[in-house]
């Protein structure tokens, strides 16, 4: 009797497994396991001590040792007090908002329009595609050196030769002019890498749909607005969400241009957090880690609802391919 029951259970389990296999459930779990494991190991485990560090304080003993002390929410209170006391913090917020606006309202629209031009295979489209692909292949530091030399040496020489204007050198030593130059570089280096994604998305546009729109008398702008834009809207949303999520960590290439000595007037929040980790040497530097950890945790708490809210809003209000 027990043997019959065991045999029946085995057959039942085998039948259930076959049923699940036909539905692809084991394959789904096998594919979902790896990213979940990666998230657990490389985010939860790796950052676990960093999260705890946000609630601790480090101080140096008379013997020169480094001691941890649990301080609760004190580090977060210190950050809020920095916002009230340090002018650099508010400047960093404003500059981060400026670069986010460049991402959302200049870089992404420019990228979509250039991608549509390349998709239509207009004159020099392949040349533009090759040139705009270069920043994705060549190290950004090469472009930083080239751009810095161009602004500091070539532009003044051309202005003097063509317009008899003598420009004051040292653009990156002047915070206001340095910020403008940095914004120009940021637009160039950022939107070029996005174009290939938009071109790839537009390559899936149905040719009959475009031809039918032209037969119906639709203008090029209407085709772009009602055919091309919906086809790459998912890509636009993904890149916009990434920009919003990264607003608290975006250094806007400040470290590439200035190293650790950028003027406070052009700080971003991401660069400010970086400076917290580079102040002082040795144990003195490590004393800033709890503040930096709390700052990062607070940034995550603020950026998370903004990111998901922006994603929902963009999907809700965006164009549909239907």
CA distance 78 to 59: 16
Exposed/middle/buried for 93, CB within 10 Å: 0-12, 13-18, 19+?
A: middle
For 57, list phi and psi in degrees, rounded to 5. -135, 145
Predicted confidence at residue 154, as pLDDT, reads: 76
Predicted confidence at residue 16, as pLDDT, reads: 56
What percent helix, strand, coil does the chain show, rounded to 5? 75, 5, 20
Contact 224, 116 (CB under 8 A): yes
CA distance 212 to 227: 11
What's this model's pTM, rounded to 2 decimal places?
Answer: 0.80
Predicted confidence at residue 26, as pLDDT, reads: 67
Predicted confidence at residue 3, as pLDDT, reads: 47
What the block records as the tokens of 125 is 């489209």
Q: CATH number for 79-317: choose from 3.40.50.10860, 3.40.50.850, 1.10.3720.10, 3.40.50.1110.
A: 1.10.3720.10
Predicted confidence at residue 86, as pLDDT, reads: 82
Predicted confidence at residue 1, as pLDDT, reads: 47
Predicted confidence at residue 15, as pLDDT, reads: 58
Predicted confidence at residue 281, as pLDDT, reads: 64
Determine the number of helices (DSSP H) and then strands (DSSP E) in the chain.
18, 2
Please give the average pLDDT of every successive group of 10 residues along the chain, which has 322 residues: 47 56 64 82 81 82 73 87 84 92 91 86 80 74 85 75 66 83 88 79 80 80 84 88 89 88 89 82 72 87 89 83 57
Predicted confidence at residue 79, as pLDDT, reads: 86
For 219, list phi and psi in degrees, rounded to 5. -75, 170
């Amino acid at each position: 009797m027990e043997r019959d029951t065991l045999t029946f259970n085995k057959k039942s389990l085998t039948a259930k497994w076959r049923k699940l296999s036909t539905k692809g459930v084991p394959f789904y779990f096998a594919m979902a396991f790896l990213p979940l494991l990666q998230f657990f190991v490389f985010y939860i485990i790796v950052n676990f001590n960093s999260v705890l560090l946000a609630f601790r304080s480090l101080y140096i003993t008379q013997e020169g040792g480094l001691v941890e002390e649990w301080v609760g929410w004190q580090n977060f209170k210190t950050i809020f007090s920095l916002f009230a006391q340090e002018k650099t913090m508010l400047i960093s917020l404003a500059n981060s908002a400026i670069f986010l606006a460049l991402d959302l309202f200049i870089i992404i629209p420019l990228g979509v329009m250039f991608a549509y031009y390349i998709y239509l295979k207009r004159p020099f489209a392949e040349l533009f595609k090759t040139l705009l692909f270069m920043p994705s292949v060549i190290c950004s530091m090469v472009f930083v050196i080239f751009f810095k030399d161009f602004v500091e040496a070539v532009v003044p020489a051309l202005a003097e030769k063509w317009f008899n204007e003598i420009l004051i050198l040292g653009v990156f030593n002047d915070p206001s002019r340095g910020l403008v130059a940095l914004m120009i570089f940021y637009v160039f280096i950022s939107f070029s890498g996005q174009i290939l994604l938009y071109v790839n998305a537009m390559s899936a546009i149905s040719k009959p749909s475009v031809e039918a729109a032209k037969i119906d008398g639709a203008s090029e702008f209407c085709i772009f607005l009602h055919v091309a834009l919906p086809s790459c809207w998912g890509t636009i949303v993904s890149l916009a969400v990434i920009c919003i999520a990264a607003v608290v960590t975006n250094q806007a290439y400040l470290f590439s241009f200035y190293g650790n000595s950028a003027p406070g007037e052009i700080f971003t929040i991401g660069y400010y957090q970086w400076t917290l980790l580079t102040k002082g040497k040795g144990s003195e530097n490590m004393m800033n880690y709890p503040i930096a950890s709390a700052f990062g945790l607070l940034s995550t708490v603020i950026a998370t609802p903004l990111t998901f809210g922006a994603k929902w809003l963009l999907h809700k209000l965006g164009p549909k391919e239907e």
